[in-house]
Amino acid sequence: MVSQVKKSKALQKILLGGIKPEGWIKKQMQRDLSGFVGHLDQLIPELFIDDKIYGKNRLTKKIRKKSVGNIQGEDEWSQQYLWWNSESQSNWFDGFLRHAYLLYDKKSRSKVDTYIKYILNTQDKDGYIGIYAPDLRYNFTGENGELWSKTTLYRALLAYYEVTKNKKILEAVIRAVQNVMDHYPVHSSSPFSFHKPYAGVSHGLMFTDILNELFFITGKKIYLNYAVFLYRDYCRQDVSEKDIQLKNILNKKYKLCGHGVHTYEHIRSLASAFFATGDLELKKALSIYLKRIETTTTVSGGPVGDEWISKRNANATSTGYEYCSMQELMHSYLFLLQKTGELQFADQVEKIFFNAAQGARNPEQDSIAYLKTDNSYEMCGTKNGEKDEIKKQTRYKYSPVHQDVAVCCSPNAGRITPYFVQNMWMKDEEGLVCCLFGPCESELSFNGKRIFIKETTSYPFEFSIHFEITVETPINFVLKIRKPDWAKKMQSNIPCKKEKDFISIHKLWKKKEIFQITFEPELKTNFTQNKEVYFSYGPLILALPIKAKEKIIKEYKISGFCDTHYKPVSLKQYEYRNGKIKKKSGQLVFETEFLNIQSGKKETVSLIPIGKTILRQVTFKNRK
Ligand SMILES: [Zn+2]
């Protein structure tokens, strides 16, 4: 069960650049870099290039309104939009720089370097790097993005430090964080106490990401203590997002109701407070919170967030999930995986990444869905036949940008793959741990000696993994390989010890050693929370694809980019009547007979991985 946080034997994460994508993951990243990840700034230059929000266009008391590209509401809401471009720019830059460095793309890397120089030049003498002019900074009465605009940018700056080891960057971030700690002194200030605070203030709790990373790099506990202080203060204040507040978690009757993306990212702040203090009340709270999140997560791993959870449980047809929420929940599971060493969290990471996240990308175009459901019967702005004329829902479509709503999901869709790649391997005190599977190459070190790893596979589309381990001088270490929760059987052609959720290979490694691990997946019939049937094969959730008609609704100045709607050619919905399901030899295609609800007749249909679909049915009513 995901909800059990038992031991606390942390793994050590690998610095960005230590693990490089290969095979299908590399191809997809290359496609994204030449697609929406590489072009987002040029697709909407007015938000990304023209608005130097960290530089000459820093916000002052004089600015009341600002273009962030979406259809804006009434004036009283305008405060919440002012910081938006900082999140869009920095989350995009974080994903872009990780792509540029993991793919060794020279042109993109030089663009990254230029942007880094620009940011360093914005740093004030006192260390401030942020979006507010001196009249406004740390001096707000209401909603603001002080900590959040810093979090999104500093995450990228620290990633740049990890991959380049450029000390100037680290020093700049340390000074900038010190500037925050000087103005919001620990235990004698209240960084979350404002009049009617909104999303920016609540996102600001994620400054704990920066503090955890600085602790990882410098080993200084002052950062962890500050992260605990932030979480404790957040719990006390009347903030807009209350799911993570300790009193609400410990209240048995409370149901998650917040803005999804906040609810899922805040896991890391609570978890970091627990890991820093060992406080048993926080441990209990973390377990309760993770259990609640199980109920808000669909079978593909998509967490309810369309955009508020509103006390609902996940439902394959009616609850949508936002791309941002997938990235944030996956990041939180990665954080828990690293902090606890419990490999069960890796199963959750793979579930989101291979299913919900792949399934919300357009397989044919350079675009993603802002909102998506597991059962997806139409993508025409609204979902699955809902009439929503009042709110004018437009999020259920494919776009490289989604400018009419908010440019949040495309930047986060550019972050998700590099975050997955960076965490495929970790270290423990005995050696190396293979946490997530997929094609990659790594150059790691253990006890000061270099180890090269080549993992050849097209996992999760096949289940054999070929490992090549090369060392320069003989070295003793333990190599642990996770056993996925779905794998009943696991074979290897190298002597190994079988543990509960991993195998371990203890040996003196010499020169180049080659071995293979094979998992045996089986086709599994599973049940959703409301007793519908769905099918899985190994880590993959299966879907019945629905033929769709594509309509281009917007074209961009840069050729090849467009927004699209999809309507079913003819909508058929099916029930499962316990028919046998056969896998086609050599393919990930599963044939069976389902009942067509509209015609009342049985039909032969094929199921394929959800990640390869646009419109689809994933869950089925089951009558004998
Ligand atoms: Zn979003």
DSSP annotation string for 236-271: HS--S--TT-HHHHH-TT----SBHHHHHHTHHHHH
Task: Say if residue 508 is in the same domain as residue 561.
Answer: no
Is 432 part of any domain? yes
Instruction: Give me ligand 1 centre to Cα 484, in Å.
Output: 30
Q: How far is the CA of 281 from the centre of ligand 1 (A)?
A: 32
Question: CATH number of the domain that 433 lies in?
Answer: 2.60.420
Question: Does 611 reside within a domain?
Answer: yes
Q: Which of 520, 545, 562 is the last residue of a domain?
A: 520
Question: Which pLDDT score is estimated for 3?
Answer: 44
**Separation of 67 CA from ligand 1 center, angstroms?**
18
Considering the domain architecture, whether residues 527 and 605 belong to the same structural domain is answered as: yes
Mean pLDDT of 544-567: 96
488 with 514, same domain: the answer is yes
Which residue from 121, 114, 217, 90 is spatially nearest to 163, judged by alpha carbons?
Answer: 217
| 354 found inside a domain | no
CA of 509 to the centre of ligand 1 (A): 46
Please give the pLDDT value at position 80.
62
User: Residues 499-513: pLDDT tens digits?
Assistant: 888 999 999 999 999
53 Cα–ligand 1 center, Å? 20
Q: For residue 489, is it within any domain?
A: yes
Please report, rounded to a whole number, the percentage of residues in the chain having pLDDT higher than 70.
95
Domain count, the chain: 2
Rounded alpha-carbon distances, angstroms, from residue 109 to 98, 114, 329, 436:
9, 9, 28, 27
- Sheet (strand 489-492) strand order: 19-21, 440-446, 449-456, 464-471, 512-520, 489-492
Determine the Cα–Cα distance for residues 460 and 359; give it in Å rounded to an integer.
14
d(CA 545, CA 548): 9
Question: Do 494 and 557 share a domain, yes or no?
Answer: no
Domain end residue (candidates: 520, 543, 570): 520
Q: Do 514 and 542 share a structural domain? A: no
Question: 527 and 516, same structural domain?
Answer: no
Q: Where are the beta strands (DSSP E) in 370-486?
A: 371-372, 379-380, 382-383, 398-399, 425-428, 431-434, 440-446, 449-456, 464-471, 475-482
Q: Which residues pair with 284 in a beta bridge?
A: none
Average of per-residue pLDDT values in the chain: 94
Do residue 548 and residue 508 come from a single domain? no
Interval between CA 87 and ligand 1 midpoint (Å)? 11
Are 442 and 489 part of one and the same domain?
yes
Whole-number pLDDT of residue 383: 87
Name the residue type at position 34. S
512, 548: one domain: no
- Summarised one tens digit per residue, pLDDT across range 466-489 is 999 999 999 999 999 999 999 988
Mean pLDDT value across residues 10-37: 97
How far is ligand 1, taken at its centre, from the CA of residue 371, in Å?
Answer: 8
**CB 473 within 8 Å of CB 449:** yes
Q: Is 90 exceeded by the pLDDT of residue 390?
A: no
| pLDDT score for 435 | 98
CA–centroid distance, 508 to ligand 1, in Å, is 48
| pLDDT for 76 | 46
Cβ neighbors of 26 (< 8 A, separation 6 or more) are 20, 103, 439
Confidence of residue 385 (pLDDT cuts 50, 70, 90): confident
Find the 63 Cα to ligand 1 centroid distance in Å: 25
Residues 539 and 514 both lie in one domain: no
Q: Which pLDDT score is estimated for 4?
A: 47
Distance, in Å, from the CA atom of 577 to the CA atom of 501, rounded to the nearest integer, reads 35
Find out whether 26 and 456 touch, Cβ atoms under 8 Å: no
Segment 131-186, tens digit of pLDDT: 999 999 999 888 999 999 999 999 999 999 999 999 999 999 999 999 999 999 99
Q: Taking residues 322-331, what's their average pLDDT?
A: 98
pLDDT band, residue 578 (cuts 50/70/90): confident
Ligand 1 midpoint to CA 580 (Å): 40
- When mean pLDDT is compared across 136-145, 410-419, 432-441, the lowest value belongs to 136-145
The 10s digit of each residue's pLDDT in 493-545 is: 999 999 888 999 999 999 999 999 999 999 999 999 889 999 999 999 999 99
Answer whether residue 369 shows pLDDT above 60: yes
Closest to 532 measured CA to CA, from 588, 471, 490, 594: 594
**Does residue 238 fall inside a structural domain?**
no
Domain C-terminal end among 458, 488, 520: 520
Residue 588, in any domain of the structure: yes
Residue 449 lies in a domain: yes
495 found inside a domain? yes
Give the confidence band of 70 by pLDDT, cuts at 50, 70, 90. Answer: low
Average pLDDT over residues 294-304: 97
The conformation of residue 355, written as its DSSP 8-state character, comes to I
Does 422 score more than 70 pLDDT?
yes
From the list 551, 609, 607, 554, the residue with the least C-alpha distance to 379 is 551
- Residue-range definition of the domain harbouring residue 552: 523-622
Question: What is the per-residue pLDDT for 232?
Answer: 98
Q: Does 516 lie in the same domain as 534?
A: no
By the CB criterion, residues less than 5 angstroms from ion ligand 1 are 322, 324, 408-409
Q: Does the structure show a pLDDT above 60 at 8?
A: no
Name the percent of the chain lying above pLDDT 90. Answer: 88
Query: Are 500 and 541 within one domain?
Result: no
